[in-house]
Chain A
């Protein structure tokens, strides 16, 4: 490991944390962490989920108090007792789990984090202005509850920038952005750096870190395991440092030349849908078909109808005619989620807490909720009494936890006690455990670290290769290129024709996501 590359030997660093330790009960989330951030540098904090990154930055920002250790800000020892104090020092934070208020508008959300003298009626205009300057367009009057994850993150970033901080902490900022949006963000960040601001950048995307960051501090199990100049490293060497071993490469052996006459396991024919709320997207004449053994990747910028498409296929929103959605040859447009599950379909929505899982319920209860009707014989006993079979639930949960390598702190914790990545592994495992013949996943690896993401992707590929049809909706193009057999793009509620992966390039999918590529009649002919 290379030692600390001091910025300018004599200069006092902007922030210097020494021997920061945070203990939760018996868990040492952060163990004597030393971190130095210089003025005008983009410093990357690398580490897997649960490595202690979030705990560390929360202490720097004042949202958590360290058990021991010191923080020096501009050379002065400080106690950041609360986030308001962090902000007044000049530390801004963009959270991974957004600290937004659903029932308030974008402008009101922004107003809440500004100092009290700012008049409320000017905030909308300023937010719009900052949004335009930094390529983060938002509608200030929109209710946050109606916005997509990507749009919410823009509000978080704008909210932080409006405070004009010296140090900006960004937690996974690009995970919901398109490549183009991410490029714009990098321009913004580089501009901020040239203005003398410092940025603490947390990301799982090592390419980005190599491209953007001046220095990196790598955490593993709550300890600093190394510091380096990411520009001098390779993605593989960074990953190795993070994980402690080599990262698994997805094995996507090609689909065996199956009989072309094979029928599709999931079909959507002419799905059109009016918007269900003032900020939801309408769907226009969507056609898709996925055969056994195939993964269809659906690319697109957040808020182009992916969520609505997911809801239509999963049965959260019913269709006018039953034949609009066919699962394993059965018309399913008018039947609900459980009935579709019984046909062999499985669904993993984008939002983990509150949609995929009930936050305040244990893992076994969450397991029961999604599978009590499909696996009644396994999880319910007592005939018509339908008693919960705790023992078989517990063993199924254990099986899933082992299979997907879910890391948890208690025997049967509440869903909300798991980190995002581990909960996602559990939710995907919950569905895979049923051996579904049709699986649709929205944003399978959003905010999930590299090791866990590789695990999830491999599991999806293996499921497809074992004969299931899989649809993956994702904003992560790397992911789609890694696992898909065909890729289609969603834009303004329309789904493009799908293009085989061999004929696909990043430029082309970028154009399709922008709604440019109408031309080819390639794929749907093959799929129909």
Chain B
């Protein structure tokens, strides 16, 4: 395996959780709900995935548990914000705090235990081809799921009727209601999908990226995912680009630090955040496209007048 290939693989592994969590949040926000609890749902996914995989020995069962944990946590958010109509920002923040605390408690007995790593794909012949063989045909299943998920979300949002309805709810929930669209039900489903994605992203962290449990192991990735959604102007392909850019710069700066470049390490560590934001701000300068893609009723509570 060449150095090039190794770097490519680490970039993909670093980008995948961001991509999955951001895609989930994209769907949530497109429906007009702002869930700031991504970090909390992600960390719950990570701990649940690790615990189940460690207990059963199956990484796949762990991954399913991670998805369910994220979804269950998002259901709590949905109940509070959609049924009880609490403030979405405050509820999302509370969800993150709760997730970090609860995961630390649940995961206490798992700290330091050896984890179960999800096996990577291996297709004889293909996976061994030079340069990109391993990148294309020899990665963990979650990588492929993340790519399929991107295509799936694009197709769903822009090619299906359900996706159109979801975008309509995010654009103007009052109009959608007057057309007889079940606004709250659609938002519940979107929130659940977002939670499942965040859980999956968390599972990737504790079962693929670093197969072990460390308290607060998401380390702000949920927040990056949230930022990606906004700076990608709510468009899936840009999220893919943004996630890989972030992954590339964060891996690149590690290599640069290893080579001993005389730049303060703090600056280097902040580089991925800086680079991603700068690039995405630059490409989202087209005001009209941004306006067209920004869900107008984002974060606004919906109470039907009866």
Contact = CB atoms under 8 A, between A and B. Distances in A.
A103 B292 contact: yes
A523 interface: no
B102 to A, nearest CB: 36
Given A112-B164, A112-B176, 19 more contacts: A83-B179, A83-B180, A86-B180, A95-B178, A98-B175, A99-B174, A101-B175, A103-B167, A103-B171, A103-B292, A103-B294, A103-B296, A112-B181, A113-B179, A120-B159, A120-B161, A120-B164, A145-B291, A277-B288
Contacts, number: 65
A361 to B, nearest CB: 16
A146 to B, nearest CB: 8
Contacts of B294: 103
A236 interface: no
A112 B291 contact: no
Contacts of B288: 277-278
B292 A112 contact: no
B179 to A, nearest CB: 5
A102 B178 contact: no
A143 B282 CA distance: 24
Contact of A104 (B159, B161, B168): B168
Given A65-B306, A83-B180, A87-B180, A101 B174 contact: no
A191 B168 CA distance: 32
Contacts of B291: 103, 145
Contacts of B269: none
Nearest to A279: B288
Interface of A: 62-65, 82-87, 95, 98-104, 108, 111-113, 116, 120, 143, 145, 277-278
Contact of B179 (A65, A112, A116, A277): A112
Interface string B172-205: 1011101111000000000000000000000000
Nearest to B295: A103
A81 to B, nearest CB: 10
Contacts of A63: 178
A102 B172 contact: yes
B164 A111 contact: yes
B293 A103 contact: yes
Given A102-B296, A277-B288, A85 B175 contact: no
B165 interface: yes
A409 B121 CA distance: 67
A100 B296 contact: no
Given A64-B305, A64-B306, A104-B168, A143 B292 contact: yes
Contact of A84 (B161, B164, B179, B293): B179
Contacts of A116: 161
Contacts of B292: 103, 143, 145
Contacts of B164: 104, 108, 111-112, 120
29 contacts: A62-B180, A63-B178, A64-B306, A65-B306, A83-B180, A84-B179, A85-B180, A87-B180, A98-B175, A99-B178, A99-B179, A100-B172, A100-B175, A101-B172, A101-B175, A102-B172, A103-B167, A103-B291, A104-B164, A104-B167, A104-B168, A108-B164, A111-B164, A112-B165, A112-B168, A116-B161, A120-B160, A145-B292, A278-B288
Nearest to B172: A101
Interface of B: 159-161, 164-165, 167-168, 171-172, 174-176, 178-181, 288, 291-296, 305-306
Q: Which of B179, B291, B295 has the most CB of A within 10 A?
A: B179
A62 B180 CA distance: 9
Contacts of A64: 305-306
A65 B304 CA distance: 12
- Nearest first, the 5 closest Cβ-Cβ pairs linking A and B are A84-B180, A99-B175, A83-B180, A101-B171, A103-B171
Nearest to A121: B159
B294 to A, nearest CB: 8
A22 to B, nearest CB: 11
Contacts of B181: 112
Contacts of A143: 292
Nearest to A87: B180
Contact of B161 (A83, A111, A278): A111
Contacts of A278: 288
B82 to A, nearest CB: 18
A389 to B, nearest CB: 32
Contacts of A102: 171-172, 296
A116 B159 CA distance: 14
Nearest to B160: A120
Contacts of B175: 98-101
A466 to B, nearest CB: 41
A101 B294 CA distance: 12
A104 B160 CA distance: 14
A193 B172 CA distance: 33
Q: Which of A85, A100, A103, A108 has the most CB of B within 10 A?
A: A103
B35 to A, nearest CB: 20
B87 to A, nearest CB: 16
A145 B172 CA distance: 12
A85 B306 CA distance: 15
A104 B179 contact: no
A400 to B, nearest CB: 28
Contacts of B180: 62, 82-87
Contacts of A82: 180
A252 to B, nearest CB: 40
A317 to B, nearest CB: 14
Contacts of B295: 103
Contacts of B306: 64-65
Contacts of B176: 101, 112
A469 B197 CA distance: 61
Nearest to B165: A112
A116 B182 CA distance: 14
A428 B163 CA distance: 42
Q: Which of B175, B292, B294, B306 has the most CB of A within 10 A?
A: B175
Contacts of A83: 178-180
B55 to A, nearest CB: 44
A100 B171 CA distance: 9
A120 B159 CA distance: 8
A497 B171 CA distance: 42
A63 B305 CA distance: 9
A237 to B, nearest CB: 35
Contacts of A86: 180
Contacts of A111: 161, 164
Q: Which of A62, A65, A104, A278 has the most CB of B within 10 A?
A: A104
A104 B171 contact: yes
Nearest to A63: B178
